[in-house]
Amino acid sequence: MILTRQQIAEIINIAKQAGEIAKNAFLSKNFTIQYKQDGSCLTSVDTYLSKFIGEGLAKISNIPVICEENNLRGLNLDSFFLVDPIDGTNQFASGNSEFCINIALISNNKPVFGAINAPFMQLKGILAYNYGEQIFVNDALFLPKKKTADRLKILTSPRTSNIDIANFVDCFLPKSSYQISTMSSATKFLQLLLGEENFYLHLRASMAWDIASGHALFIYNQQAKIITLNNNELLYFSDNLQNPSFFIDMMR
């Protein structure tokens, strides 16, 4: 790890505070909404948390911070933070609590640290992060259990079409029996980590800050296999923040 335990503790404190800010704004509906040039939703909470998290991380280390809402992109960096102040802004703005705060650290193109705070997940909220190969959930050491099932339980985005899922299974997992459940944002990573689903299928276009923190929770887990559709390793580059399609197979 290139972060000390103290630095990670401080980052987790930032994630907790950001979660409380987002939670209070969501409940009070005390935020404004505007739309970017690409038509995507942006709230005043996204903007505030981008600044809050970025300034907090800058006090902890001199590692550059790339955030969905800032302009530090296109640089060739060996190490950098990736931040999504609210992953699932559309859900947040529409009153759906399936949103979260993502903070990840990339080093040599791989996620070495990730934290996801989902303030409403399982009612009281879930905050998961890693320190090296150890995973913590709500500050308690978490030991992943081997997922076993007679058929695939595929977790994916609500906007992933059933036809695309069927085509994927026919191509990569022929003759497999499966069922589908959906969640929004990086809460899917938490659901896969904690829940009954054993397969995460990510086919929709997304950006690095959407998935890097969740990827960090699985990269050291020997019970999970993360694979791109072209069978390459899932890597991150500061000058190219778009993701390929991938899946996480908990049955391997």
Phi and psi for 26 in degrees, rounded to 5?
-65, -45
CA 242 – CA 236 distance, rounded (Å): 9
Q: What pLDDT shows up at residue 73? A: 59
Q: Give 160-217 pLDDT, tens digit per residue.
A: 999 999 999 999 988 889 999 999 999 999 999 988 789 999 998 889 999 999 999 9
Q: In what order do the strands lie in the sheet with 246-249?
A: 178-182, 152-156, 199-202, 246-249, 225-228
b/e sequence 114-126, b meaning 16+ C-beta within 10 Å: bbbbbbbbeeebb
Q: What pLDDT shows up at residue 7? A: 97
CA 227 – CA 154 distance, rounded (Å): 15
Q: Domains, the chain, ranges and CATH?
A: 5-142 (3.30.540.10), 152-249 (3.40.190.80)
Cβ partners under 8 Å of residue 194, min gap 6: 122, 126, 137
* Across 70-74, 136-140, 185-189, 195-199, least confident range: 70-74
CA 11 – CA 13 distance, rounded (Å): 5
Quickly state the pLDDT bin for 252 (edges 50, 70, 90). low
Q: What pLDDT shows up at residue 219? A: 86
Tokens standing for residue 247 = 């899946």
